[in-house]
């Protein structure tokens, strides 16, 4: 393959796969090798400038470039970037299974086996992302994509924060609200602070959502959602759990794990290391990457 910079003319753009606040993702076929399918994220330059999002697109490109070097199976790979007069283009892995959120909506809830399978892959990927000094800051089921066989990949690093080498206080960044209301951590809402454990908070929200079908904190509007988060007002909190009629068919190990993750004080929240030792994962061999990264359907 020539190393000439690629351009939008090298691809046949097909249907839209999804869109975010300042970008749209399309399925695209490589004209040089029509068997090669990509997902191309197109960001309008005018829109980015008008909405002051220049910082975010730069972060996304730099973070994906940094993470792509290690070839972790749980991170969407960035292959090329280019631009024309109108747009910026990111050529990414195409994941035929689409968003985890769409699958959850279809299934209503995930079985315990599926919930564990997805959680294990998320924990393994998050641990890797954090080891590279990156906080994702917008983890949610829309930003988790599925391969053909049910393996997952985390995408959308537009809100990520990269801690700089040598900065010891790097795990406490001062941030303004970037993520999505339902998954945002209490420390961000209360103290404008974000750390690696803010991603763990979002993971806890996702585990709850896998087994119940809805995120733990959801109000009629963003403000009400925020109020619930800072009051830790969700169905499994110590004040609410006794009135909760919907616990019967959920493994208490899952409830206990979520309750140890959804803790207001970040330093008292379970770390990823501790999560891996949780009894719910007693059967998981975290060192066996082949079992962690096998699919669940064909």
Determine phi and psi for 140, rounding to 5 degrees: -170, 165
Q: Which is nearer to ligand ADE, 38 or 280 (CB)?
A: 38
Min CB(64)–ligand ADE separation in Å: 11
Determine phi and psi for 167, rounding to 5 degrees: -90, 105
Q: Which of 133, 160, 24 lies closest to 89, judged by CA?
A: 24
Which range, of 89-97, 193-201, 241-249, 269-277, touches ligand ADE by CB under 6 A?
89-97
Q: Which of 10, 22, 73, 93 binds ligand ADE (CB under 6 A)?
A: 93
Q: Which of 164, 214, 169 lies closest to 194, judged by CA?
A: 169
Min CB(18)–ligand ADE separation in Å: 4
Instruction: Please report whether residue 95 would count as binding ligand ADE according to CB under 6 A.
Output: yes
Min CB(279)–ligand ADE separation in Å: 35
Are 198 and 137 within 8 A, CB to CB? yes
Burial class (CB in 10 A: 0-12, 13-18, 19+), 62: middle
Tokens of 252: 């208490």
The DSSP H or E segment spanning 29 is: strand 23-30
Q: Which is nearer to ligand ADE, 153 or 200 (CB)?
A: 153
Which range, of 48-56, 93-101, 126-134, 162-170, touches ligand ADE by CB under 6 A?
93-101
Residues 6+ apart with CB under 8 A from 238: 259
Q: Which of 28, 145, 270, 284 binds ligand ADE (CB under 6 A)?
A: 145
Active site (annotated) includes residue 138: yes
Instruction: Please report whether residue 272 would count as binding ligand ADE according to CB under 6 A.
Output: no
Which range, of 2-10, 91-99, 191-199, 274-282, touches ligand ADE by CB under 6 A?
91-99
Q: Which of 254, 265, 258 lies closest to 217, judged by CA?
A: 258
Q: Which of 196, 155, 170, 193 lies closest to 63, judged by CA?
A: 155
Q: Where are the alpha helices (DSSP H) in 69-195?
A: 100-107, 112-131, 186-191
Instruction: Using the Cα atoms of residue 220, residue 226, residue 232 and residue 236 in order, give the sign of their dihedral.
Output: positive
Instruction: Please report whether residue 103 would count as binding ligand ADE according to CB under 6 A.
Output: no
C-alpha span between 164 and 133 (Å, rounded)? 7
Q: Which is nearer to ligand ADE, 155 or 185 (CB)?
A: 155
Min CB(174)–ligand ADE separation in Å: 30
Q: Which of 14, 58, 86, 98 binds ligand ADE (CB under 6 A)?
A: 98
Q: Which of 28, 39, 144, 203 binds ligand ADE (CB under 6 A)?
A: 39
* Catalytic one of 10, 84, 124, 138: 138
Instruction: Please report whether residue 154 would count as binding ligand ADE according to CB under 6 A.
Output: no
Min CB(43)–ligand ADE separation in Å: 13
Instruction: Please report whether residue 76 would count as binding ligand ADE according to CB under 6 A.
Output: yes
Q: Which residues bind ligand ADE (CB under 6 A)?
A: 17-18, 25, 39, 76, 92-95, 98, 145, 155
């Amino acid at each position: 393959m020539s190393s000439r910079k690629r351009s939008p003319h090298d691809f046949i753009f097909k249907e839209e796969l999804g869109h975010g606040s300042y970008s749209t993702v399309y399925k695209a076929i490589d004209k040089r090798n029509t068997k090669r399918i990509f997902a191309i994220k197109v960001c309008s330059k005018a829109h980015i400038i008008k909405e002051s999002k220049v910082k975010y697109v730069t972060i996304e490109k730099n973070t994906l470039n940094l993470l792509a070097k290690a070839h972790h199976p749980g991170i969407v790979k960035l292959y090329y970037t280019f631009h024309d007069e109108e747009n910026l283009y990111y050529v990414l892995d195409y994941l035929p299974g689409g968003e985890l959120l769409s699958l959850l909506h279809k299934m209503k809830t995930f079985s315990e086996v599926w919930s564990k399978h997805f959680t294990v892959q998320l924990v393994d990927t998050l641990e890797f992302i954090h080891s590279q000094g990156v906080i994702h800051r917008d983890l949610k089921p829309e930003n988790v994509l599925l391969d053909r066989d049910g393996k997952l990949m985390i995408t959308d690093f537009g809100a990520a924060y990269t801690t700089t080498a040598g900065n010891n206080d790097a795990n406490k960044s001062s941030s303004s609200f970037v993520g999505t209301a339902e998954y945002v951590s209490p420390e961000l809402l209360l103290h404008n602070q974000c750390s690696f454990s803010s991603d763990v908070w979002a993971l806890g929200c996702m585990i709850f959502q896998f087994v119940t079908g809805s995120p733990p904190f959801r109000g009629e509007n963003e403000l009400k959602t925020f109020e619930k988060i800072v009051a830790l007002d969700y169905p499994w909190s110590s004040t609410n759990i006794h009135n909760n009629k919907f616990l019967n068919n959920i493994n208490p190990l899952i409830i206990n794990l979520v309750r140890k993750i959804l803790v207001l004080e970040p330093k008292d929240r379970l770390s990823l290391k501790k999560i891996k030792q949780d009894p719910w994962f007693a059967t998981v061999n975290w060192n066996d990457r082949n079992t962690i990264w096998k699919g669940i359907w064909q």
